[in-house]
Each structure stands twice: as C-alpha cells, then as structure tokens.
Amino acid sequence: MIRVEHVSHWFGSLQVIRDLTMHVPAGEIFGFIGPNGAGKTTTIRMMATLLEPDDGRVMVDGIDVVEAPAEVRRILGFMPDGFGVYDRITVEEYLEFFAAAHSIPLGARKRTVDAVMELTELTGLRDRLVATMSKGMRQRLGIARMLLHDPKVLILDEPANGLDPRARIEMRALIEELRGLGKTILLSSHILTELSDMCTSVAILEKGKLVAGGSVDAIGKTLRPERAVKVRLLVVPDDAEAILARGPAVTGVERDPDGAFRVQYQGGDEVLADLVDHCVAQKLRVVRLEPDQNDLERIFLEVTKGELQ
C-alpha cells in the first residue's frame, strides 16, 4: 500500500534519509520506529506529500506522491505529532469546517460528521468547545478530522504522545478498530510496548537508514535463532538450574529477577514437550510455562546504536 523505494533526502549539506526502501502492506498496522533524529518525521512528511524526496520515489496505493499529490491526498489521512485546533469553536463546528474543506457535499456533510463522531466516541461532546477538551479527546478529534474523507491509508505520528494510561488504552482500541474497518495504518511512536502489542510489522530507522524490518517475531528470530520459554516452579530446589540445563536441546538457563527460569533451547514444539517431560521426571513442580516472546524494546536496543545525525 505504501512503497518507499531508494529514497534519499538532504537538508542543505546534511543527508537525513539514506537510500531508504520499505514496504507497508495493505491492511496492516505498521510500526515506524527510531531514535530522535533518525529521519522518521521526514519520511512521513514525504509519504504525506508535504515534502519531496531528492532521490528515489514514494508511492501510496500505486500513486507517486510527487507526480500526483492531489490523488494521494484523496486516499490518505495524516495526523502529525502537533496539529492545529481552533479553540473557540465546538467539536461539531470544527469537523464541519474540515468536511467543507474536503468538498464533502452539503447534503452529506452532517451525516459524515455524525458518523466520524460516533466512531471516535465524540458524539456526546459535539457542543463542547475545543479549548475545554483534554489531550486525549483532542487526539480523538484529530483522528475524526482525518477520517472525514474516508481515506484508505492513515498515517499517525506519535498519536499517544502526552496521553495518560487510560487515554492510551482507548487510543489503541480505536486504532485496532480502524484496522478492522480495512484501513492501512502507519504508526510512529516512542511507546514500544504498545507498538509490540498492536503492530503486524515494523521498520526500525537509525541515521536515515533502515536497520531492521518485518514482523517483531521474525526480526527477533534473526537476531536470536534459539527459542526460549520461562519456567515457573512451585518450589525451587537448589539444583533447579542444573536440572533444567540438562534438559533436551537446552542451550542456556538464566534466573529472572521474578524467580522464573528463562530456558533457551533449539527445536520446535516437540522439544518443548520433551522439556516438560524432563521436568516431571526430575520432580520439578512446574506451575506455568510462558513462551518468551520477542520483545520490541530488546530488539530496538540490539539493532540501534543510539547515534544521532
């Protein structure tokens, strides 16, 4: 749905994007990650037709953003990190203004505004002045504005920035609902745990270059081919770690601060079943096995160096 092909961009003598190639498949929630100064916002602005690449090309649904920016804007919704709102008007007036800006016919305008308010749970706030709204509600208003022309592709730059925990949970639920409606969503965020839960694929950028891309699990397996499982015991004998280390195909055992053992092994589910049999045979009283999922924060730390441009 979004293709970035060998894109480079300079600001004066500073090259901020370096031969970047990435693909956002249709229907996905795609996480776009990188340290401050990595070039994420520059890339997003090129996708949103606000900036032209110096080399390469960006395409949205097969349309070149340089050759046909107006066509791209008809199928793309963009919510930047900081977006302007008009404090002295109501929620409904705000949305009606932007519906008119999108040339939505007068007869369909109220129906469209009502629909996006219902989707973003703003119906009860239609007469509320924007100035009196919380940060979370303003973010919802930004998404409602973005949805007025029913775009196929949504780009959200730090949508959860500055939100309290409840508002973040509600924002995540809304984004997942939008994916369920068939939208393709590119999401930039610094909150990696939330991206790990939501995103079907990610791209990690550093110093304007792609350093990793794909599903979180696939990237993690590339970095660490071994599988791992957390073993939690009811009673921990002194030789528990040694017993686990003697298990079939086990390559390493570590004790976590919470008391569980992280057991690395080579093989599939059959080996894991053999490991359980080994624990039972050795009279280890296992109360829980927790597959060790690839963690996006760990992956981010492993593939980036923290270097600034």
Q: What is the pLDDT of residue 55?
A: 96
Q: Which of 203, 220, 237 is the last residue of a domain?
A: 220
What's the pLDDT at 293?
60
Do residue 10 and residue 149 come from a single domain?
yes
Do 153 and 236 fall into the same domain? no
Q: Are residues 213 and 234 in the same domain?
A: no
Ranges of the chain whose pLDDT falls below 70: 224-225, 292-295, 306-309
Per the domain annotation, does 300 fall within a domain? no
Judged by DSSP in three states, 157 sits in strand
302 part of a folded domain: no
In this structure, the answer to whether residues 188 and 201 fall within a common structural domain is yes
Give tens-digit pLDDT for 193-243. 777 778 889 999 999 999 988 887 778 777 766 778 899 999 999 999 999
Confirm whether 118 is domain-assigned.
Answer: yes
Strand-pair category, 250-255 with 201-206 = unpaired
Q: Are residues 216 and 238 in the same domain?
A: no
298 falls within a domain: no
Looking at the fold, whether 103 and 174 belong to one and the same domain comes out as: yes
On whether both 195 and 51 belong to a single domain, the answer is yes
Rounded to whole angstroms, the Cα distance separating 86 from 42 reads 26
pLDDT at 47: 97
Is residue 111 a part of any domain in this protein? Answer: yes
246-282 exposure pattern, b = at least 16 Cβ within 10 A, e = fewer:
ebebbeebeeeeeebbbbbbeeeeeebeebeebbeee
* Residue 301 falls inside a structural domain: no
Other C-beta atoms closer than 10 Å to the C-beta of 98 total: 16
* Domain carrying residue 235: 225-292
> Could you give the CA distance from residue 26 to residue 61 in angstroms, rounded to a whole number?
9
Helix residue spans in 228-281 (DSSP H): 240-245, 269-281
Asked whether residue 307 is domain-assigned, the answer is no
pLDDT at 294: 58
Same domain? For 279 and 137 the reply is no
What pLDDT sits at residue 309?
A: 58
Q: Is the dihedral of CA 204, 35, 83, 55 positive or negative?
A: negative
Structurally, the chain folds into a number of domains equal to: 2
Long-range contacts, stretch 58-67, CB < 8 angstroms, 24+ apart: 58/2, 58/3, 58/4, 58/5, 58/7, 59/2, 59/3, 59/5, 60/1, 60/2, 60/153, 61/1, 61/152, 61/153
Do 240 and 157 have their domain in common?
no
Positive or negative torsion for Cα 238, 244, 246, 250: negative
- Nearest in space to 148 (alpha carbons), one of 182, 81, 103, 85: 103
CATH (domain of 269): 3.30.70.100
Domain at 170, CATH number: 3.40.50.300
**Residues 213, 90: one domain?**
yes
Is residue 306 a part of any domain in this protein?
A: no
Q: Which residue, 197, 220, 243, sits at the end of a domain?
A: 220
| Same-domain check for residues 92 and 232 | no
Residue where one domain finishes, among candidates 187, 220, 253: 220
12 and 156, same structural domain? yes
